[in-house]
Structure 1
Amino acid sequence: MLLLGGCSGLPDKPTRASMYDFGPGVLSTPPTSLATGQAPLPPLAIEDIVTSGGALDNMALLYRLGYADAQQLRPYAQARWSMPPAQLVRQRLREQLGQRRAVFNAGEGVALNRRQGAVLPLLLRLDLEEFSQLFTAPDSSVGLIRLRATLVEVTPAGEKLIAQRQVVAQRPAPTADAPGGVRALTAATDAAIEELDQWLQQAAVR
């Protein structure tokens, strides 16, 4: 009895944080260009997405209380991403853009096309500046993503700037908690990628 009584006073086992990503993505479907009869778009090379450092360089799921202190980023204690946000966004970007074009890692497409004597693909650089759940009230929030996109042409003489754009997207969260924030940030990321895709198609006309 004494032994059992002593064991009952032990602390509870720590709860593991829930881990999230953007879901399984496209499941074995043909490229959109084939399904709709559209011509494929020119190939594109994508660099690793960079951040300003700090909070976005880890796997924390972040939120802001816009109605109290919008300058403070807060992490959920029992929720996290499966990888840093920049990697998640890049993975989703490659998946979506790859539906209508060949997508390479930076340097990979350059080396491939040089060997084949072809025109080098345009190079896309992205800076992830914001990726958080923004609460406008205790029971109301949105998933907010902000990206700065730079499109350059790689030439033998160096890089030539083609276009630059700021992309901001937000989508409402269905619930005022971490799972709701994940859904909102997933939807906001897809919206930002759709805007990027349209911009790339216009900017790449040269």
Structure 2
Amino acid sequence: MTHSFTLRLAGIAACAALVAGCASSKGPQQTSYDFGPIGAPATMQAAPAATAFPALVVADVTGPAMLDNQRMFYRLLYADAQQSRPYAYNQWSATPLQLLSQRVKARIAQGGVKVLSTSDASGGVPLLRLEADEFSQNFDSVTQSSATIALRASVFRSHRLVDQRTFARTVPATSADAPGGARALAAASDAIAADILAWLATLPAR
């Protein structure tokens, strides 16, 4: 075996070791979460149908800028409740505002209301606007967390405010991590949708 051939083998081995080292030092893969499939949870079965509104224009949920990206945030209430921290290797499949919009619209439709978009709006159809005030996973301790969603809902008819109410739900997470937070936030959104349906049923038809 010549000296130059030996050097080439050594160079190839060094390159292979370098590539392997880079591969092994690569961090965990990013994991995406959403609210899961649309089923028929018990919270919706118990909610009365919003018969006063056979059809409703439901605008997309609006909210603060931090909810308009796909990062998953949490708060350590036992350490610094004012600091919102992002998960390093977990994210949403869409923004929280988009996930909330899709879920609430689907649940309202399940409640017997024909849901229209703002582009499909026709004269005389009431409008429901939703604004998210809170959407967070909060840790009370290292091993215990819960999800909280707060929405401000406003119903308009012919550009006049019919009623406005704030809804908030807190659901304990089954695990103190991103998957547990995602499940709890999905459950909180379902519960709020049921609350909104029950509220709509109390409003005057005209």
User: TM above 0.5, one fold?
Assistant: yes
User: Could you tell me which of 76, 87, 97 is aligned with 1:65?
Assistant: 76
Show the counterpart of 1:80. Answer: 91
Show the counterpart of 1:42. Answer: 54
Show the counterpart of 1:149. Answer: 153
Structure 2 counterpart of 1:151, which letter?
Answer: V
The percent identity for this pair of structures is 37
Would the alpha carbon gap of residues 164 and 41 (structure 1) be closer, same or farther in structure 2, given more than 3 Å must change? closer
Cα distance, 1:71 vs structure 2: 1.0
- Larger RCO of the pair (alpha carbons < 8 Å, separation 6+): 2
- 1:58 alignment partner, SS class: coil
Structure 2 counterpart of 1:127, which letter?
Answer: E
Q: Is the 8 A contact 2:75 2:81 kept in 1?
A: yes
Point out 4+ residue stretches in structure 1 off by more than 6 angstroms: 37-40
| Correspondence 1:190 to 2:190 | yes
| Correspondence 1:24 to 2:37 | yes
Would the alpha carbon gap of residues 145 and 24 (structure 1) be closer, same or farther in structure 2, given more than 3 Å must change? same
- 2:104 alignment partner, SS class: helix
Q: Is the 8 A contact 2:174 2:184 kept in 1?
A: yes
- 1:86 alignment partner, SS class: helix
Show the counterpart of 1:161. Answer: 161
| Correspondence 1:181 to 2:181 | yes
- 2:196 alignment partner, SS class: helix
- 1:146 alignment partner, SS class: strand
Distance 1:40 1:125 in 2: 17
Cα distance, 1:134 vs structure 2: 0.5
User: Could you tell me which of 12, 16, 19 is aligned with 1:7?
Assistant: 16
| Structure 2 unaligned spans of 5+ | 1-8
Show the counterpart of 1:117. Answer: none
Show the counterpart of 1:130. Answer: 134
Q: Which moved more, 1:174-183 or 1:99-108?
A: 99-108
Cα distance, 1:38 vs structure 2: 10
Paired residues, number:
186
Cα distance, 1:7 vs structure 2: 2.8
| Structure 1 unaligned spans of 5+ | 115-119
- 2:201 alignment partner, SS class: helix
Would the alpha carbon gap of residues 137 and 47 (structure 1) be closer, same or farther in structure 2, given more than 3 Å must change? same
Q: Is the 8 A contact 2:75 2:137 kept in 1?
A: yes
Cα distance, 1:101 vs structure 2: 1.2
Structure 1 counterpart of 2:62, which letter?
Answer: V
User: In terms of Rg, which structure is larger?
Assistant: 2
Distance 1:107 1:200 in 2: 22
- 2:36 alignment partner, SS class: coil
Structure 1 counterpart of 2:114, which letter?
Answer: A
